[in-house]
Amino acid sequence: MELTELKEMWQQNDKKLSENTRINKEVLKRMLISKPEKRIHGEKIKTGVNLILPVALILLILVPNIQYRSSFDFYIGMLLFGAVSSLIYYWTIRYYMLIRNIDFSSSVTLIKKNIKKLEKYKIKLKKLGYVLMPFGITGIFLMGKIPLFSTESILPVTLIVLVMIVSIYYTFKYSIFEQFQKLNSEIKALEELETE
């Protein structure tokens, strides 16, 4: 073999090696993208359920069981409950639209930016929900003509308050941050692959 033939063989092997390296990186990138895509898809499903469930519950439980009265308490309760649930529902729709906008075929920087925006929005949505929930519950109590501060309502009100406190603690201490921390670590692995 001559030197030129060896050089050509070397260059061909080098091209094959670089092509194989490119293919391997592409396969690894797809594998790394699949985990965050599954997480976002799961979040999309949960948010979709959160969009359907309140409407179904209101139509199937609240509307048939409500006793319409022509009293001030009833209208105030309906206004409180309607305003709170409409506002939270509107914010949930916006959150769902943000989830739908995440595109894993775009650059990693844009994906990270969208996920950070999603995290901030979810925290804001949860805070809004927890701040407005007592008003919505008060509206239900007023519509149902249930006295808020009586001996009969002490136990339900206490249980509602305790469940809300535990829910707030768990949501902000663990749930949201763990979810997005895992998502961010998976995106970081993808970013490291792209920088190589």
Tell me the per-residue pLDDT of 14-41, one tens digit each, with 9 for 90 and over: 888 888 877 877 777 777 777 888 888 8
Residue 6 is assigned to a structural domain of this protein: no
* Structural domains counted in the chain: 1
Residue 26 is assigned to a structural domain of this protein: no
User: What is the average per-residue pLDDT within 65-94?
Assistant: 89
pLDDT of residue 25: 76
60: confidence class by pLDDT, cuts 50, 70, 90: confident
- Residue-number span of the structural domain to which 140 is assigned: 44-195
Distances (CA, A) of 172 to 120, 127, 177: 12, 9, 7
Residue 176 is assigned to a structural domain of this protein: yes
**Distance between CA atoms of 167 and 93, rounded to whole angstroms?**
22
pLDDT of residue 4: 80
Residue with the two structure tokens 């070397």:
10
Q: Are 141 and 160 contacting, i.e. CB atoms less than 8 angstroms apart?
A: no
Query: Of the segments 20-29, 85-94, 153-162, 167-176, which one has the largest average pLDDT value?
Result: 85-94
Residue 50 is assigned to a structural domain of this protein: yes
pLDDT of residue 1: 57
